[in-house]
Amino acid sequence: MDLKNIVMQYQFNTIEKNWQKYWAEKKTFAAEDNSVKPKFYALDMFPYPSGAGLHVGHPLGYIASDIYARFKRHQGFNVLHPMGYDSFGLPAEQYAIQTGQHPAVTTKTNIEGGTDKDGNVIPGYRNQLDKIGFSFDWDREVRTSEPNYYKWTQWIFKQIFNSWYNNESDKAEKIDSLIEKFKAEGNSNIKATTDFEETFSASDWNSWSEEEQQKMLLNYRLAYLSDTWVNWCSALGTVLANDEIKNGVSERGGHPVEQKLMRQWSMRITAYAERLLKDLDTVDWTDSIKDIQRNWIGKSQGASVIFDVDGHDGEIEVFTTRPDTIFGVSFMVLAPEHELVAKITTAEQKDKIEAYQKAASLKSERDRMSDVKTISGEFTGAYAIHPFSGDKIPVWIGDYVLASYGTGAVMSVPCGDQRDWDFANHFNIDIPNIFKDKDISEAAYAEKDAVITNSDFLNDLPVKKATKLAIYEIEQKGFGKGKTQYKLRNAVFSRQRYWGEPFPVYYNGETPYLLDTNDVVELPEVDKYLPTADGEPPLARAKKDAWNVDCPGDRMEHNTMPGWAGSSWYFLRYMDPTNENEFVAKDKVDYWQNVDLYIGGAEHATGHLLYSRFWTKFLYDLDYIPFKEPFKKMINQGMIQGNSALVYRDIDSGKFVSKGKKKDYKTSSLHADINFLDGDILDTERFKNWRAEYNNAEFITEDNGEFICGREIDKMSKSKYNVQTPDVLVQKYGADTLRCYEMFLGPLEQHKPWDVQGITGVHGFLKKAWRLFHNDEAFEVSDAEPTKEELKTIHKAIQKVTGDIERYSFNTVVSNLMICVNELTAHKCNKRIILTDLVVLMSPYAPHIAEELWSKLGNKESLTYQPYPKFDESHLIESNHKYPISFNGKMKFLMELPLTLSKEEIEKEVMANEQTKKYLAGREPKKVIVVPKKIVNIVG
């Protein structure tokens, strides 16, 4: 074998190892804290370090942000590009429950590598990430489960606890200012976000005991303890937030969820509803994510109207978005849980109503959802009084009205609302028509383009005007007021689990107090990670002296914080990860500001992305940070799906049947490990050795002896044996190939199945690039002047690649680099000037090979901070243009003409051309369109 030839081959394994070592030792990617350079903050959503490790889908977004970060370094930016771990979470705790191993231990193994309790090798996230050549500044790593991190999560909680929301200044303020006002004038003049509606005076406040005052303050604090209807998941032993439930079951594990009244910590995120909605306009996110958040916040405008109940003191308050239809009301419906129901129900209806209430309460959230079509309800026997007409309106209950939205009661306008129409139709209730010339005999008329009629002072008005006038009259007469309603609920902030942040809270009796210490409250050791016998959370197992802090009260808080606590502010900690005195130093956050480019999955639309916006606004209000939105620009990478391999087994004989012979047998299919495949061909020996039951497997192969598997697109998961790890590919093709290939696969945002077939093409491109710098025996570049063609090739690439990266079109960059290398190969170009530019162009995508070639070109320093090549248009300017000549819009042939020609001259040249005459075949053109530098179109 030719030794020289081997030396000059592209040895990616050696090259990549060397440069990864170099970068780590020289701290090449360290971000500078005190820099005169402009800053750029490129951030990935940090991962939960699971024991399964990385598959090829995980690094997709990381590769994109890394490319952008490296690109920005070339452009002279001081780049902050950190990585860390969202390391509190359920899987580590579930594993702890099963094995008794402390979740901190498994978490550390999952990050740093090792073996689990069963002896399985865990590669470790860090090791896997390192092999891909990311330019992370690892000195800034954070782990949310480390006390030096969650110390500050607790600190932020304390700030939120010690704040209230002033609707007048429209921002959060310190609770002290509220206490001062209570002392001086009670709560009557205070406009705060609260569910507490009664008033008290200064003397009331001052006469209350400390405990009573604290209880009152909980109605105002932004983090507060209250009895709340929560989503209780007994299988997981904890409550879940609305965004943790998908299709009525828990997102994790798919367990049933029921409604339960529990004393829980909550965050008053509703105070920020309007700002969370409005500021969406200021961020560069996809419309889809913005829409999801808008829907989730669910703003609707209308009026709240009060109806008296005939013969009772109680009144029914409803929220409606259509106050213009108030004269169309023919009945009212209350939620079965509405507090008034028991009071107003007549004796005759009592049994029926109670039976209905009972049935409704037994229905789970899921049943209620799957049962939307069924119309049910019950008449209370009571009547409300229409505020304007004085008519008596029957009051019903029905479970299509939700207790948790608005006031839990609706005024039903069957002619304008389909649900009301259905209800009225089903129970034979009157359906008065208040829309001029609209037919409501078959369905409600919900469009807002009607003219109102049969409606007293609203007659002959269009919807918009009628709405305005109705609200005006309602307010004038004191029947209610204009109101804005949000779907967004306050966020439940406690979980009955072990592996999360402990609260810096203790109790005296039932009253919570913040611990006075600045020390972190560490997770105490417990004997088991399970709830106690009487259903208390695992932390109740810790004795008072098991905690690292002194508990001055009766007991510590036993709940822990939810998963979103640590992730709501982690992007701030990267700026100052080791600060022991502050969560982040003012000068650092002033310099780094918010995240310029954030890449991660769209599945966090209503969770993490909403909560971190909330906390950011809160910290802004208290003047800790100088910006209102955490993430300026966001890209949501698509999911990479698995490409499962199926083998077919003949049901009668148990023999395995190749795909091509499948139709001759009655088969069932099962998943085979994709690692046994070469293309679609199964390595039958490896398959036989996979499991004992397959040791004696027999195969019915194709005629050529190959065994072909079927393929199927699934989610990439261990259970489908379709997981492709990056490690295997890095070993086989190198990290640079993997990086380029993952980008080459298609647009970043798109979901796509993983298919390894095309990777050879990308690998070939890097080999081809390598060969530009080498002859058969050695590295060789020429110092000769480049030709016009060579300059044109490289500048075309500079223009395309730069433009494509800037508009985040990561996939087309690879194509353009390929075209560049193909053309330079065709030119046999090894000119130093050209290849130097090429190396820098390639470096964000294929940093290892770029560094290697860069050093071979004679450079001593890393090319990380090498200026990006400048596009010079003069190399692309042509004197001629190849005009496509079209006839009636169909292109027939090309004609090269000088660019200096005028429209008229072009037309003359084209019309004089032989081919033109041929295509016209004697016809006289009606019209000739000439677009200089573009096209000629002959009509006729």
Partner RNA sequence: GCUCGAGUGGUGGAAUUGGUAGACACGCAAGACUUAAAAUCUUGUGUCCAUUAGGACGUAUGGGUUCAAGUCCCAUCUCGAGUACCA
Of residues 474 through 493, those in contact with RNA by CB under 7 A are 485, 487
User: Measured from the CB of residue 437, what is the shortest distance to RNA in angstroms?
Assistant: 23
Min CB(338)–RNA separation in Å: 10
Residue 419 binds RNA, judged by CB under 7 A: yes
Contact pick of 352, 555, 767, 792 for RNA (by CB under 7 A): 767
Q: Does residue 876 interact with RNA by CB under 7 A?
A: no
DSSP 8-state code for residue 182: H
Closest CB to RNA among residues 285, 598: 285
The only residue of 121, 894, 902, 905 in contact with RNA, by rule CB under 7 A: 894
Q: Which of 358, 751, 903, 923 binds RNA (CB under 7 A)?
A: 751
Min dist CB 44 to RNA, Å, is 20
Verify binding: residue 886, RNA, rule CB under 7 A: yes
- Considering the complex, state which of residue 207 and residue 750 has its C-beta at the smaller distance from RNA: 750
Minimum Å gap between C-beta 292 and RNA is 4
User: Rounded to the nearest whole angstrom, what is the least distance from the CB of residue 325 to RNA in the complex?
Assistant: 9
C-alpha to C-alpha distances, 97 to 241, 432, 535, nearest whole angstrom: 23, 61, 16
**Cα 400 from Cα 398, distance rounded (Å):** 5
Strands 223-233, 171-174: pairing kind: unpaired
Determine if 473 is a binding residue for RNA (CB under 7 A).
Answer: no
CA dihedral sign of residues 152, 157, 163, 164 = positive
889 binds RNA (CB under 7 A): yes
* Cα gap 398→357, rounded to integer Å: 9
Q: Does residue number 750 form part of the binding site for RNA (CB under 7 A)?
A: yes
CB 486 within 8 A of CB 270: yes
601 binds RNA (CB under 7 A): no
| Nearest-angstrom CA–CA distance, 687 and 251 | 34
**Candidate list 177, 888, 908, 917; residue touching RNA; CB under 7 A:** 888
Contact stretch for RNA (CB under 7 A) within 68-76, 513-521, 753-761, 896-904: 753-761
Q: Please give the size of the binding site for RNA, defined by CB under 7 A.
A: 84
Task: Locate all alpha helices (DSSP H) within 662-787, ordered by sequence.
Answer: 684-690, 726-733, 735-744, 759-772
Does residue 634 contact residue 289 with C-beta atoms inside 8 Å? yes
Instruction: Out of 366, 700, 929, 932, name the contact with RNA by CB under 7 A.
Output: 929
What is the rounded distance in angstroms from the CA atom of residue 502 to the CA atom of residue 150? 9
Residue 324 to residue 37: CA distance in whole angstroms: 58
Which 208-247 residues touch RNA, going by CB under 7 A? 242-243, 246
CB of 320 to RNA, least distance (A): 4
Question: What is the SS3 assignment for 598-664?
Answer: EEECHHHCCCHHHHHHHHHHHHHHCCCCCCCCCECEEEECCCEEEEEEEEEEECCCCCEECHHHHHH
Please report which residue ranges of 454-536 form alpha helices under DSSP H: 463-476
The minimum distance between CB 10 and RNA, in angstroms, equals: 10
User: What are the helix (H) ranges across 773-899?
Assistant: 788-806, 810-826, 832-842, 847-856
Q: Which of 259, 579, 812, 855 binds RNA (CB under 7 A)?
A: 812
- Contacts to RNA from residues 286-325, by CB under 7 A: 287-288, 291-292, 295-296, 298, 300, 302, 319-322
Tell me 32's DSSP state: P
x/- site string to RNA, residues 382 to 401, per CB under 7 A?
Answer: -----------------xxx
Evaluate the CA torsion angle 691, 696, 698, 704 in order and state its sign: positive
Scanning 164-172, 219-227, 435-443, 762-770 for contacts with RNA by CB under 7 A, the matching segment is: 762-770
Cα–Cα nearest to 492, from 408, 601, 611: 611
Query: Per rule CB under 7 A, is residue 924 in the interface with RNA?
Result: no
Select from 461-469, 665-673, 700-708, 928-936 the region that touches RNA (CB under 7 A).
928-936
Q: State yes or no: residue 793 binds RNA (CB under 7 A).
A: no
* Cβ neighbours around 849 below 10 Å, total: 27
Residue 436 is a binding residue for RNA (CB under 7 A): no
368 scored as a contact of RNA (CB under 7 A): yes
Of 661, 800, 831, 848, the one binding RNA by CB under 7 A: 800
Quick one: which segment of 617-625, 646-654, 688-696, 927-935 binds RNA (CB under 7 A)? 927-935
Residue 293 parent element (H or E): helix 287-297
How many whole angstroms separate alpha carbon 936 and alpha carbon 59? 47
Residue with smaller CB distance to RNA, 156 or 303: 303
DSSP 38: P
| DSSP character string of 45-109 | PPPP--TT---TTTHHHHHHHHHHHHHHHHTT-EEE----B----HHHHHHHHHH---HHHHHHH
- From 51, 892, 907, 913, residue interacting with RNA (rule: CB under 7 A): 892
Query: Quick check: 645 binds RNA (CB under 7 A)?
Result: no
Q: Which stretch binds RNA (CB under 7 A): 139-147, 653-661, 680-688, 801-809?
A: 801-809
Please, what is the minimum distance in Å from the beta carbon of residue 433 to RNA?
Answer: 17
Q: If binding is defined by CB under 7 A, does position 891 make contact with RNA?
A: yes
Residue 747 binds RNA, judged by CB under 7 A:
yes
The 3-state secondary structure of 100-162, one letter per residue: CCCHHHHHHHHHHCEECCCCCEECCHHHHHHCCCCCCCHHHCCECCCHHHHHHHHHHHHHHHC
Range in contact with RNA (rule: CB under 7 A) among 36-44, 231-239, 408-416, 583-591: 408-416
- Which position among 364, 490, 815, 859 is part of the footprint of RNA (CB under 7 A)? 815
Residue 705: count other Cβ atoms within 10 Å of its Cβ: 9
Determine which residue in the list 14, 234, 822, 902 makes contact with RNA, applying CB under 7 A. 822
Question: Least separation, in Å, of the C-beta of 475 and RNA?
Answer: 17
- In the complex, the smallest distance separating the C-beta of residue 881 from RNA, rounded to whole angstroms, is 8
Q: What is the DSSP letter of 193?
A: -
Closest CA to 849 of 761, 723, 762, 940: 762
Q: Does 468 bind RNA (CB under 7 A)?
A: no
Q: Is 809 in the site for RNA (CB under 7 A)?
A: yes
The answer to whether 889 and 927 have CB atoms below 8 angstroms apart is no
Please, which residue, 581 or 757, has the CB nearer to RNA? 757
> Which residues 651-680 are close enough to bind RNA by CB under 7 A?
none
Q: Which of 51, 601, 710, 884 binds RNA (CB under 7 A)?
A: 884
CA–CA distance, 402 with 826 (Å, rounded to integer):
71
Please identify, using beta-carbon distances, which residue of 57 and 537 lies nearer to RNA: 57
CA contacts within 13 A on the Cβ side of 922: 0
CA distance 123 to 548: 33
Burial-class residue 104 by CB neighbours within 10 Å (0-12, 13-18, 19+): middle
Q: Considering beta carbons, is residue 426 or 477 the nearer one to RNA?
A: 426
According to CB under 7 A, which residues from 603 to 642 bind RNA? 603, 605-606
* Near RNA by CB under 7 A: residue from 650, 804, 851, 852: 804
Q: Which is nearer to RNA, 158 or 363 (CB)?
A: 363
252 vs 649, which CB is nearer to RNA? Answer: 252
Site for RNA in 244-263 (CB under 7 A): 246
Q: Which of 491, 575, 602, 723 binds RNA (CB under 7 A)?
A: 602
755 binds RNA (CB under 7 A): yes
The single-letter DSSP state of residue 724 is -
Nearest to 74 by CA among 797, 845, 590, 853: 845
The SS3 call for residue 928 is strand
Q: Single out the residue of 47, 38, 131 nearest to residue 82, CA to CA.
A: 47
Site track 698-737 with RNA (rule: CB under 7 A), x = hit:
----------------------------------------
